[in-house]
Amino acid sequence: LAKTTQPVSMDSYEGQEVNITCSHNNIATNDYITWYQQFPSQGPRFIIQGYKTKVTNEVASLFIPADRKSSTLSLPRVSLSDTAVYYCLVASRVGTGGFKTIFGAGTRLFVKA
Amino acid sequence: DAGITQSPRHKVTETGTPVTLRCHQTENHRYMYWYRQDPGHGLRLIHYSYGVKDTDKGEVSDGYSVSRSKTEDFLLTLESATSSQTSVYFCAISPAPGDTEAFFGQGTRLTVV
């Protein structure tokens, strides 16, 4: 399973765009890139997933270059409630479906007023 | 939120005693996972299940066993608890096939004294 490396922490201000980059040099052909958000005393919550190029949903965008060795989570116009830990992980398919993942230590994002 | 319940939510136990944590889901998802979370390590996969009676090891499985006799229940057993197993344990479920989005429970805080 591919391991990931991401910044330990980041600070931002309300209303700014935040980009968190993750490296996953050993990603395999069939692996997917997934990002989760975790608030204190809660389980992680899925944000977005992608395989290549760009994926966008209602809360974030995910940019993946052609070599797929890194990815960038983009959070537009963050608010104080976006203060959380963000995990980048690589999901490897197991069996006939489902995925096995390795979480890194995550990036602690602190949004200031 | 996905129908996933962990019990107990908090437990204190003595070194050497067996402990069983329960994860119950109402989503009928095929895949279930047990993670532990420790400061500085993010989440680490202990065991996972890809169906009734079908389980496999994760990256930190030593000292843990699991059982899944019904789709809805995934049990994690610490056969002889040690202080190094003091942690927060999360259960997760995911639909299959081909979906990397997992839903996490609220966690169980286990303290081994």
Which percentage of chain A shows pLDDT scores above 90? Answer: 71
**The two structure tokens encoding residue B94:** 């995911």
Q: Which residue has the higher pLDDT, A97 or B84?
A: B84
Q: What share of chain A is helix, strand, coil (3-state, %, to 5)?
A: 5, 55, 45
Q: Amino acid identity, residue B56?
A: D
Return the residue in A101, A107, A108 with the most chain B beta carbons within 10 A, the one to mutate for interface testing: A101
Decide if B90 touches A, using CB distance below 8 A. Answer: yes
Give me the mean pLDDT over the B64-79 stretch: 97
pLDDT, residue B95, reads 79
pLDDT, residue B2, reads 66
Choice among A9-23, A42-56, A84-98 with the minimum mean pLDDT: A84-98
Return the residue in A49, A55, A99 with the most chain B beta carbons within 10 A, the one to mutate for interface testing: A99
**A55 DSSP β-pair partners:** A62
In a 13 Å sphere around the CA of A32, the CA atoms on its Cβ side amount to 18
Contacts of residue B35 in chain A, CB cutoff 8 Å?
A: 103
A5 CA to centre of own chain? 11
Of residues B41, B58, B104, nearest to A105 (C-beta): B41
In a 13 Å sphere around the CA of B29, the CA atoms on its Cβ side amount to 31
Choice among A64-73, B5-14, B33-42, B71-80 with the minimum mean pLDDT: B33-42
Residue B29 to residues A88, B72, B74, Cα–Cα distance (Å): 23, 8, 11
Distance from CA of A36 to the nearest CA of B (A): 9
Contacts of residue B59 in chain A, CB cutoff 8 Å?
A: 1, 102
d(CA A88, CA A71): 9
Choice among A84-93, B66-75, B92-101 with the minimum mean pLDDT: B92-101
**The two structure tokens encoding residue B20:** 């069983």
pLDDT digits (tens, 9 = 90+) for A43-64: 999 999 999 989 999 999 999 9
